[in-house]
Amino acid sequence: MSAPRSGVRRSAPAALAAVLTATAVAVGGCGMPELADLPLPGGAPSGPAYRVTVEFTDVLDLVPQAAVKVNDVTVGSVEEISLSGWTARARLRIDRAVRLPANATAAVRQTSLLGEKYVAVAAPVTESASGQLGEGAVIPLSRTKRSAEVEEVLAALGLLLNGGGLAQLKTINEELSKALEGRESTAKDALRQLDAFVGGLDRQRADLVRAVDALDRLTGRLSRQRAVLGDALAALDPGLGVLAAERDQLSDAVTALGELGRVGSRVVVESREDTVASLRALQPILDQLVRAGDALPKSLDFMLSYPFPPNVTGAIVGDFINMSLTADLDAATILANLFSAKPVAKPPPRSRSGSSGRNPSNPSGGGQRPGGTDDRPDGIGPLLPGVLPAICLPVGGLLPLDWLPPLLPECKLPPECKLLGPGSLLPLGGLLPPGGVVPPGTVFPPGTRLPLGTILTPGCLLPPPDGATNGRTGGLLDVLGGGLLE
C-alpha cells in the first residue's frame, strides 16, 4: 500500500484561495453595483397588496422591511413601526392573493437563535375562523404575542443555576419520594379521581359559567336594592329588640308548651281504653245517623211546622192559613198511593146469591173483603192493583229474560211490558234498573232481581200516582213530604 501524496492535502486551501482571488478580480473588473439596485433582506415580492395594522405590547428589535410570513412562507413585509401611547403599532403590507380570516392572530418570532425577527400571521387556534382580513384592518393586542428572547431564557437559566432553587427542588423531590413510597396505588387513585373531578368540571363548564352569571345578576340586583335592604333591616331592628326583651317569657312559654305536651301524652295514654270504648259505643248511633241520611234534618224542619209542611209559611196571612185540601180516604187508594201504584175503580158489589159464597167472576175462589179488593191467591192479604203478587214470580234467584207469567188473571202483564236483554238500545221512556234490582214504580214488586243490564220497556212502568192538592198531583208520600204545598 503506497503512502498518500502530500499534494492532495494542500489541494483544498489552494482551491479556496483561487476562488476568493477569482471573485476579487471579477468584482474589481465589473465594478460595484449601486446599493439601491440590491434587494433588501426579508422584503416581499412587489405587486398588489393590502395593509394591516398590528398592535404589540413589545416588538423587541423588529425593524421595517422585516418579513411577514404565513406558515413560514413570506407573503409581505413590515412597512412602518410606530408608537401609540404604550402600544407599538406595526403596519404590514401583505400580498393581495393571500386571504386571511378577520380574527387572525399575529406574533413576533425569530428565524433562528441569532436570526432576524419577523411577523407571523396565522388563523386563530382557540376559535373558528370568520370573515376576511382586508385593507385597513387592525389586529388588536388580544390577538398578538411575542416569543421569548434568548437573553430572557439565559437570564432565567442563570437565576436557576446560581442558587435559584435547585437545592430546594432536590429537597422537595426527596421528600415527595419518601411520602409516596409504598403509596403509589393510592396516589394514582387520587390522581384518577382528581382527573375525573376536573373532567366533570370541564363538562359542566357551561353550567358553571351560567351559575356565575346568575350570581352576578343577583348581586347586581341586590346592589341596586341596597337602600331597600337597608330600610328593611332598619325596620327589623325594633322587632328584634322586642324579641330580645321578651326572651325570658318566650323561653318560659316554650318550656311550658313542652310540659303541656308531656301531660297531654300521658292523658291520652291513660285514657286510651276509655276513649276506644266510647267510640265503639258511639258507632251504632253513627251508623243509624248515616242510614237516616237526609231524613233527620228534613224531619226536624217538618217538626217546626207540624202538622203542616215547612213551606206552609207562604200560605200564612196574618193569623189565617190559606189552604185547599182534597183527601181521598178510600183504603185501596191510600194503600195504592203508599206503594206507588195506580188507583183503580172499586169492584162491583159482592153477589149475595149462591150457597157457596163464591163470585162467578173470581175463578180463584178467594172471595172478597169488605174493602172491595180481591183476596190474594196465597191468602195472605189483598192484592194491590197493578202489582204482581210474589206467587207469580219464581222464588229466589234472578228473573230470566224469557220468563213468562203463569196463565192466571192476577199474573197478567201489560202487553207493552217486555224485558230487553243487556246491551239493547234503551227505548224512549224505558228504564235500566240500577244493579239489576227493580225500583218502585213498575209492574214488578220492588226488589225483583233481573240480569245485570236488563232494560224495562215503557209499558212496564206505572203511571204517576193520582191526587190533587191546590191543583198539583201527587201521592200521600208527597203530601207528607211537603212537596205539594207552597
Could you give the C-alpha distances from 349 to 85, 333, 369, 382, in angstroms and in order?
Answer: 137, 17, 10, 16
pLDDT at position 409: 64
Query: pLDDT higher for 106 or 5?
Result: 106
- Whether the predicted pLDDT of 125 surpasses 50: yes
| pLDDT at position 391 over 70 | no
In the chain, the amino acid numbered 115 is G
The reply to whether the predicted model has a pTM over 0.85 is: no
Contact between 408 and 419 (Cβ < 8 Å): no
What is the tens place of the pLDDT at every residue in 305-336? 776 666 666 667 767 777 666 666 666 666 66
C-alpha span between 348 and 341 (Å, rounded) = 20
Report how far apart, in Å, the C-alpha atoms of 76 and of each of 49, 50, 140, 206, 301 are.
8, 9, 19, 41, 110
Domain ranges of the chain: 49-150, 327-349+357-466
- The residue type of 485 is L
The 10s digit of each residue's pLDDT in 216-243 is 999 999 999 999 999 998 999 888 889 9
- Dist CA 288 CA 283 (whole Å): 9
118 or 373: which leads in pLDDT: 118
Residue 121: name the closest of 71, 182, 56, 183 by CA.
71
Q: In sequence order, what DSSP letters do the residues of 198-262 get, joined into one string?
A: HHHHHHTHHHHHHHHHHHHHHHHHHHHTHHHHHHHHHHHHHHHHHHHHTHHHHHHHHHHHHHHHH
CA pair distance 106, 62, nearest whole angstrom = 13
Chain mean pLDDT for the chain:
75
Question: Can you tell me which residue has the cell 432536590?
Answer: 170
The per-residue pLDDT for range 48-95, each reduced to its tens digit, is 999 999 999 988 889 999 999 999 899 999 999 999 889 999 999 999
Q: If pLDDT is split at 50, 70 and 90, which confidence band does 147 have?
A: confident
Q: In the predicted model, what is the mean pLDDT of residues 281-295?
A: 84
Residue 197: pLDDT over 90: yes
